[in-house]
Amino acid sequence: MKKTSSQFIFFGSGPIAAESLRLLVQDFTIEIVVTKPNLPHYNHKLSVSDIARKHGIECLELVNNKAVEQILSQPFDSKIGLIIDYGIILSEKVINYFPLGIVNSHFSLLPQWRGPDPISFAILSGQKETGVSLMLIRPGIDDGPLLAQKKFHLSKTLTSPLLTQALIKLSHNMLVATLPRYIEGKVTPYEQDKSTPPTYSRKLTKEDGLIQWPKPADQIEREIRAYADWPKSYTKLNRTNVIITAGRVVNQSGAPGKFIIDHKRLIIYCGQQAFEITMLKPAAKPVMSTEAFLAGYSNKLSV
């Protein structure tokens, strides 16, 4: 496919940015890539710097706004920046460097789920749709004017890794359709819907993954799907630590946290209803079905 004549400087650092950049290099000319030094937990994945170097694009690993400002003190040809999953809120000085601003591809229907983790919070909230917003950034938190928005239906079985991949593809298609037209002056930015109160996501912590069984079962089921990539959903079944990767809500009741084994089914009572585990991962073992787990661990589950 022939690249567009559109050119920009790319800002991004996480796995979403890396996969987005892998797609973008097929359709755009990217003058330079600005990223952060790789974190240890990205070592098993292709990073932004890996993608840039593979395609012969200059890649700068910068740790803060001051370093970015110093780099942008030299002239570049790009009139626009693009930021995806960068992890640093850029200063007004950096934003103003670009005559056409910096476009952020944000994975929610703004003003819904501003902040660092809109994907997980879309699943956690139980909403029926999410999407992608192309926005011109301001120094605030995701409150800039929009260039485009598209919706994506959320099924009741979608996990955060699957939703992430779907939104990366949607984002790329929107950028291909919108960015050249914006650069040509054919797209007029418009303000976010002020009649809808904004909601805010936050960074998840390892502690978020500890399952609290007094919660309703449907909330726990959403958490397991939302935390599938990180921090994962973990608990202890008697003496055995496990990560729960899949299951379903069942209409049973009992003391929250108590579990029963019923005809090769493993059911844990919750604050409302109960949760049947269908897939799980014991410590240092691969993910397995409940039936396989019970065959190997039943002696450790007895009281």
Tokens encoding 15: 């796995």
Please say whether the beta carbons of 223 and 233 come within 8 A: yes
pLDDT at residue 97, rounded to an integer: 95
Cross-strand pairs, 233: 244
Are residues 221 and 247 in contact, defined by beta-carbon separation less than 8 angstroms?
A: yes
Beta strands in 109-226 (DSSP E): 129-136, 146-153
pLDDT of residue 46: 80
Question: Residue 235 belongs to what H/E stretch?
Answer: strand 233-237
Q: DSSP state, 39? A: P
Terminal alpha carbon distance of the chain: 62
Q: What is the pLDDT along the chain (303 residues), one digit of tens a residue?
A: 456 667 999 999 989 999 999 999 999 999 999 999 876 555 557 899 999 999 999 999 998 889 999 999 889 999 999 999 998 889 999 999 999 999 999 999 999 999 999 999 999 999 999 999 999 999 888 999 999 999 999 999 999 999 999 999 999 999 999 999 999 999 999 999 999 999 999 999 999 999 999 999 999 999 999 999 999 999 999 989 999 999 999 999 999 999 999 988 999 999 999 999 999 999 999 999 999 999 988 878 875
* Cβ within 8 Å of residue 280, ≥6 positions away: 242, 243, 244, 245, 246, 287, 288, 290, 293
pLDDT of residue 63: 85
Checking phi first, is residue 25 left (phi over 0); if not, alpha (psi -120 to 50) or beta?
Answer: alpha
Domain ranges of the chain: 7-183, 206-301
What does each C-alpha distance from 123 to 18, 157, 196, 244, 251 come to in angstroms? Answer: 23, 10, 19, 17, 22
CATH superfamily of the 7-183 domain: Formyl transferase, N-terminal domain (3.40.50.170)
Alpha-carbon gap, residue 186 to 188, rounded angstroms: 7
Element housing 250 (H / E)? strand 240-250
Percent helix, strand and coil across the chain, each rounded to 5? Answer: 30, 25, 45
Relative to beta strand 129-136, strand 146-153 is antiparallel
Contact 117, 160 (CB under 8 A): no
For residue 178, the model assigns a pLDDT of 97
Q: Which CATH class is domain 206-301?
A: alpha beta
Tokens of 31: 């003058």
